[in-house]
Amino acid sequence: MNILLCCSAGMSTSLLVTKMQKCAIEQGKQFNIWAVSGDSVHNHLNKADVLLLGPQVRFLLPQLKKLGEESGIPVEVINTVHYGTCNGTEVLKFAEKLVYQ
């Protein structure tokens, strides 16, 4: 699964990406997880199975959700507590739920 995260500059989610990658490896899953800024999401959306937004860019949800619907990709905002605590396990579960439901 390819999981794309979006935040303001693509940097604040780097720790969360690292935690999610660690969880995926521990679970024996070969996921591709990366983060980009809101400005460059368009260049990465075609490679993603799901797009998760950091809470700080939730204002982009309507715009990006429309793009996701056109591409058949679920788009949602990451739970604020899970984002703030860099809970890679829960964010990974959330991404899987969105893709596999």
Active site residues: 7
Give, as one character, the DSSP assignment of residue 91: H
Where does residue 53 rank: exposed (0-12), middle (13-18), buried (19+ CB within 10 A)? buried
Are the C-beta atoms of 93 and 78 separated by less than 8 Å?
no
Residues 5, 36: Cα–Cα separation, whole Å: 6
